[in-house]
Amino acid sequence: MYALVDCNNFFVSCERVFRPQLEGKPVVVLSNNDGCVVARSNESKSMGIRMGTPFYQISRLADIGKLEVCSSNYTLYGDMSARVMSILTDAVPRIEIYSIDEAFLILDGFNEKDVRPLCSHLVAKIRKWTGIPVSIGIAPTKTLAKIASHFAKKYPGYKGVCMIDDDTKRVKALSMTPVGEVWGIGRRLAPKLEEAGVKTALDYACRPESWIRENFMLHGLRTWMELRGTVCVEAETEAARKSICTSRSFSRMLEDEEELSEKVSDFAARCAGKLREEGTAAGDVTVMLYTNRFRDDLEQYFPSATVRLQTAASNTQEIVSAALRAMKMIYRPGYKYKKAGVTVGNIVPAEAVQASLFGFDPELRSRNDRLSRLMDQVNAPGTSSLLRLASQKSGHYSDDIRREHCSRRYSTSFDELLEIR
DNA sequence: TCTGGGGTCCTAGGACCC
DNA sequence: TCTGGGGTCCTAGGACCC
């Protein structure tokens, strides 16, 4: 059996832990630059506010006091997530952290009748220890566990735990699940399926295998088998990431090459920092620029360029220098840029780096690496603000992000914790 | 005026090899 | 006029997830 533990309205719940006055009220959490709705409380969901709604379309509700608004505070959410995950890690031998607010428990070897009491206990314990409400879905496959967790969340009668452990329950649950809600079937495929008369998860699971294979290939077939109770999406072994990306929208549009270079340097430095944190090195660096896609009146331009490194690197100097070279290849004056990003790819473990036969200077590499490590020791974790390259200029990209409704860092800063009182 | 950020996997098609 | 067969690797683009 698999159990999917899913935090309810996670970002909103994090905010409520430290501001209980938000309890019972319609609340939304916004993306960077206070751009879009990325989390909603049950109350704001019932008001009809959709995921991804641009905030300016609903800001009037906030002005007249009918909606509480929070800018996103990822430091807080990351820390609350770690607390929830550590409780789960202590409770069972194998867990798979799937996202900031979800984890699968792999329950091989558990006696089936112990599973439900264990999960009920976890729901209560996580609520008591962290303040976060969670729902748990239990089923023989991950795809079915996802569906079970939807039921656990939606119907209070389940008290947070729903288990699909026989075929009657499976068929009932599938018949009540719209096909577009199934894990692995997204917004693009759902309309295509409905056109073909497949409206529920049960319709999908009852189609002949040949039809699924023909229309949706391997991925669709996996989902089909999982819905029928055959495990296809196995428990995963801890796999290293294959790429790391840092990208941001700017609070205003930028035209100047210098100004954009500062941002790109800073994003590249952040990517290099992430590489060092996980002990890996990257073989290439890609820079992307974006004009404002919502402005029909402005000329659009979405270029990208990749620079390959002769020898995979993780030090800030080499990653930033490659990013600036890539940026020079694509920057064109006259456009108004709204967003930029840096992705590092071809990632290998740092100790497995193959030195290039040509033009590789081990002395220089070693000096660069030592300097980066020193910067890591001086700078606060996850930042590059105190010691930084000259090309990063003035301060940190996150200083330039609009956050008009931001909560405090209650759980990671002692001073701010005291302010709760 | 105002519209997020970070990932993965699969497939088709082109380039290249013998 | 007429131009094989089999394979690998890489990349771009599309789909999905949170």
Q: Please tell me the total number of residues recorded for chain A in this structure.
A: 421
Token couple for A204: 């999908």
**pLDDT at residue A268 tops 70:** yes
Closest nucleotide to A345, Cα to C1' = B7
Provide, in whole angstroms, the distance separating residue A323's CA from nucleotide B18's C1'.
39
Provide, in whole angstroms, the distance separating residue A214's CA from nucleotide C1's C1'.
39
**pLDDT at residue A88 tops 80:** yes
Separation CA A345–CA A356 (nearest Å): 17
* pLDDT band, residue A384 (cuts 50/70/90): low
Q: What pLDDT sits at residue A255?
A: 94
A288 forms beta bridges with: A304, A341
| Mean pLDDT in residue range A124-147 | 97
Going from the C-alpha of A78 to that of each of A75, A83, A215, A293, A415, the distances in angstroms are 5, 9, 39, 30, 19
How many contiguous H segments (helices) and E segments (strands) does chain A have? 14, 13
CB of A263 under 7 A from strand C? no
CB of A334 under 7 A from strand C? no
Supply the DSSP symbol for A340: E
Report CA A313 to chain centroid distance, whole Å. Answer: 25
Which strand ranges, in their side-by-side order, compose the sheet holding A37-40? A37-40, A27-30, A68-71
Of A47-51, A243-247, A345-349, A406-410, which gets the smallest average pLDDT? A406-410
Provide, in whole angstroms, the distance separating residue A348's CA from nucleotide B17's C1'.
27
Q: What pLDDT sits at residue A325?
A: 94
CB of A188 under 7 A from strand C? yes
Domains of chain A, earliest start first:
8-76 (3.40.1170.60), 81-227 (3.30.70.270), 244-378 (3.30.1490.100)
Separation CA A389–CA A201 (nearest Å): 53
- Cβ pair A29, A12 in contact under 8 A: yes
Separation CA A41–CA A14 (nearest Å): 11
A277 Cβ contact list (under 8 Å, min separation 6): none
Supply the DSSP symbol for A180: G
Q: Name which residue leads in pLDDT, A355 or A175.
A: A175
Q: What pLDDT sits at residue A382?
A: 60
Provide, in whole angstroms, the distance separating residue A33's CA from nucleotide C3's C1'.
61
Q: Report angle CA A328, A333, A336 to the nearest 5 degrees.
A: 110
| Mean pLDDT in residue range A205-222 | 89
Residues near chain B (nucleic strand), Cβ < 7 A? Answer: A 31-33, 35-36, 38, 52, 54-56, 59, 217-219, 239, 241-249, 252-253, 274, 292, 294-295, 338-339, 341, 343
Separation CA A47–CA A54 (nearest Å): 15
Note the strand B nucleotides within 7 A of protein beta carbons: 1-12
* pLDDT band, residue A416 (cuts 50/70/90): low
**pLDDT at residue A420 tops 60:** no
Q: Return the SS3 of A162.
A: strand
Q: What pLDDT sits at residue A354?
A: 81
Provide, in whole angstroms, the distance separating residue A285's CA from nucleotide C5's C1'.
39
- Cβ pair A71, A403 in contact under 8 A: yes
Q: What pLDDT sits at residue A395?
A: 65
Closest nucleotide to A192, Cα to C1' = C15
